[in-house]
Amino acid sequence: MKKLFLILLFSVYSFASEPFIGVDELKEKINNGNLVLLDVGTKSEYLEEHIPNALHTDISLFRAQHGKYQLLRTPAELQKIIRKYGIDENSEIVIYGHNKKKEILKSSYIALAFINMGLENVKILNGAFLEWKYEDFEITSKIKNVKSSLFVVKPRNDIVVDREYVLSKIGKVPMIEARPSEFYYGTIRSKGVKRAGHIPHAMSSNWKDKFLVDESLKDKDEIEEIFYNYDIKQDEEIIMYCTGGLEASMNWFLINRYLGFKKAKIYDASMREWGNRDDTPIQKFKWEVFKR
């Protein structure tokens, strides 16, 4: 009965704030004045063909290098980018890629950046550009002109956390790693990470498990079932991390926006920071379910 209640609760939340949008719905909104459509594919791909009214963007505009790892840019920097695209509090933002490597993760990371700056109506196009083309919808090479906005960011302090915060929460709140299991177990090291393994007591849930081979989203009940494997509660805190922020951003986007875990957080620097230090604890070869 409890599980049924949770499924119904999650379904209501998902219906009310769907974080993924289908191509049919996007087609109906394509000329909506409040729609801001962002293409995260390469600039050459965008110039060749894109969805009408889409603007090109790049993840480098949203994150900056800090030694061996990258972090979200400052609110002042992000405000300039948000204004550049004409985004304001009334905008409906839809992000998509051209179905190339990591573009779906770039979409979720950029969505995270917007949400962290106080924008709520942010979605990812399910199936991305290939799904749009498969339906034989209009494509174009025309570049849309856009007028800058005067939007003032409202930075949140309840989403992105740092190393010290994570250290203070080990064994106290559940943590979920988004990397493939071989990195979690420590059988091999992630690229650019000196030490193998995972943060102690963290659980493993590869972001890819929530998607089909074409990177379209699995059914809601399948995604809910994945997260039911862990002793996590919707009204409690949970921390996501990965190699360098991208994979964790998708797990965060799903569990926060799709399932309604409003206290979900993300360790942006992730293992690129944690695994390259000698003073952070690492655990190998042990899969756990968080226990209170």
> Would you state the pLDDT for residue 215?
87
Are the beta carbons of 272 and 69 closer than 8 angstroms?
yes
Please report, rounded to a whole number, the percentage of residues in the chain having pLDDT higher than 70: 92
pLDDT level of residue 290 (50, 70, 90 thresholds): low
Average pLDDT over every residue of 23-40:
97
Map residue 204 onto helix, strand or coil: strand
The CA distances from residue 61 to 82, 106, 181, 264, 270, in Å, are: 10, 11, 30, 24, 20
Mean pLDDT of the chain: 92
CA 231-232-234 angle, 5° bins: 150
The answer to whether residue 200 scores a pLDDT higher than 60 is yes
Helix residue spans in the chain (DSSP H): 2-16, 23-29, 43-48, 75-84, 103-116, 128-134, 163-169, 181-185, 220-227, 246-253, 270-274
| Displacement of CA 161 from its chain's centroid (Å) | 15
Q: How many CB atoms lie within 10 A of CB 270?
A: 29
> Would you state the pLDDT for residue 7?
42
Average pLDDT over every residue of 211-230:
90
Q: How many CB atoms lie within 10 A of CB 73?
A: 18
Distance CA 126, CA 129 (A): 9
Distance CA 37, CA 139 (A): 13
Q: pTM for the full model? A: 0.91
Domain ranges of the chain: 17-134, 160-274
> Would you state the pLDDT for residue 209?
95
pLDDT level of residue 15 (50, 70, 90 thresholds): very low
CATH topology of domain 17-134: Oxidized Rhodanese; domain 1 (3.40.250)
Q: Which residues lie below 8 Å from residue 131, measured CB to CB, with a gap of 6+?
A: 23, 125, 214, 216
Same fold, 17-134 and 160-274: yes
Domain 160-274 belongs to what architecture? 3-Layer(aba) Sandwich (3.40)
Distance CA 160, CA 113 (A): 10
Q: Which residues lie below 8 Å from residue 2, measured CB to CB, with a gap of 6+?
A: none
> Would you state the pLDDT for residue 229?
82
Residue with tokens 């960011």: 153
> Would you state the pLDDT for residue 282?
96
